Structure 1
Amino acid sequence: MHIIVGLGNPSKEYKGTRHNIGFDAIDYLADKYGIDVSSKKHKALIGKGIIEGYKVILAKPQTFMNLSGESVIELIDFYKIDEKDELIIIYDDISLDPGRMRIRKKGSAGGHNGIKNIISHLGHDEFLRIKIGVGEKPKGWDLADYVLGRFSKEERQEVEEAMIRTSQAVKFMLEGNVEEAMNQYNKTR
């Protein structure tokens, strides 16, 4: 079993913001594979299903971004998965252009508070992750205002295309082909 967690903030006011791109990815996977992500457990909305023949749990933590680790650790402890191989975290990255992706097996939080909290709860930084670019903060902007803002029409198109690539990357990762996913999706388009 794999647990795929998309990071974001709960409540309608954050829907469609840059910071909620992880939730968008979970919604895309849920729609594509017919998984109902509405059960409230482990401080998250979760759904159980099958992606390309693999049992998965899709999760959207409801703790707000900065406390994402609370939900992630509850999911890991309850389902007894190996977080180094069976956990995939999907989240926003301001250092990548909108729609660009970067797949990693481990690494620092890079200033992302949701990832910092997950690393703190796990006690290590070795877990699979898919970072989806939301673009760099414009000069003079407050970071919180930027990541809680919405995409332009052009950026939204890039993000929609990234959802398709994210789904393909997830398939590779579920099959254990993380290196292949990295080779395929970490390159510039």
Structure 2
Amino acid sequence: MIVIVGLGNPGRKYAKTRHNVGFMVVDELARKYGLAFREKNDYYIAEWRLENKDITIIKPTTYMNLSGTAVKKVVNEKILKNLPESLIVIHDDVDMPVGKIKIKKNGSSGGHKGVQSIIDSLGTKDFIRIKIGIGKDPYQDVSEYVLSQFTSEQRAKIKEKISEAVDSIVVIINEGVNKAMNIYNRL
């Protein structure tokens, strides 16, 4: 069993903001494979089977800073003993240029409150992360920046990188995280 988590904030107000790039990736994954999300407790869930592996995709509805609450419920139910390989979290990263993808195994939250919530809730840093750079504006407060929308130039780049992130998820599932890191961390 593999659990894939896209981080973001629920609701139309946040749908196209930088902080919701994790939601954008899992939405594209669902669209590409014809999956539908349904609401359950503190998250939206879609279930899938790829290469004889059961996969659960979730989008927490608890807002970013409390993402760990929803993730813990799913992890406890599905995969608690198989970390880190069985949990993939997709999120934005302000410390990377717009559109840069970096896959990593475990580590700190890097200041990302959604990731920190997951670490705190699970009591471990041992899970796979797919980080997507959203850049930052040195003249704008980080909180305001992540909750604002991409510029039109950034949107085109992010759309391409969302597709790459979806492809990287499939590589992780089929060939492992090390193979995915070798491919996508170099791009």
| Alignment match, 1:142 | 141
| Alignment match, 1:59 | 58
Alignment of 1:107-126 (within 5 A): 107-126=107-126
Q: Which runs of 5+ in 1 are unaligned?
A: none
> Which consecutive aligned stretches of 4+ in structure 1 deviate over 6 angstroms post-superposition?
none
Cα shift readout 1:7-50 (whole Å, capped 9, x = no counterpart): 0001110011000000000100000001101x222410001113
Q: Does 1:71 align with 2:70?
A: yes
> Residues of 2 paired with 1:51 and 1:15: CA distance?
27
Alignment of 1:33-44 (within 5 A): 33-37=33-37, 39-44=38-43
> Residues of 2 paired with 1:40 and 1:19: CA distance?
21
Paired residues of 1:88 and 1:130 also in contact (CA < 8 A): yes
Query: C-alpha displacement at 1:164, in angstroms?
Result: 1.5
SS at match of 2:44: strand
TM-score normalized by the length of structure 2: 0.95
Q: Does 1:101 align with 2:137?
A: no
Paired residues of 2:98 and 2:133 also in contact (CA < 8 A): yes
TM-score normalized by the length of structure 1: 0.94
Query: C-alpha displacement at 1:130, in angstroms?
Result: 0.2
Paired residue type of 1:143: V
Flag the 1:116–1:164 CA change in 2: closer, same or farther, 3 A: same
> Residues of 2 paired with 1:21 and 1:109: CA distance?
16
Report the RMSD for the aligned CA atoms in angstroms: 1.3
| Alignment match, 2:19 | 19
Q: How many residues align?
A: 186
Q: Which runs of 5+ in 2 are unaligned?
A: none
> Residues of 2 paired with 1:86 and 1:80: CA distance?
7
**For structure 1, which segment, 63-72 or 81-90, has the greater mean C-alpha deviation from structure 2 after superposition?**
81-90
SS at match of 1:16: coil
SS at match of 1:175: helix
Query: C-alpha displacement at 1:52, in angstroms?
Result: 5.2
SS at match of 2:84: helix
Paired residues of 1:52 and 1:171 also in contact (CA < 8 A): no
| Alignment match, 2:44 | 45
**For structure 1, which segment, 3-12 or 168-177, has the greater mean C-alpha deviation from structure 2 after superposition?**
168-177
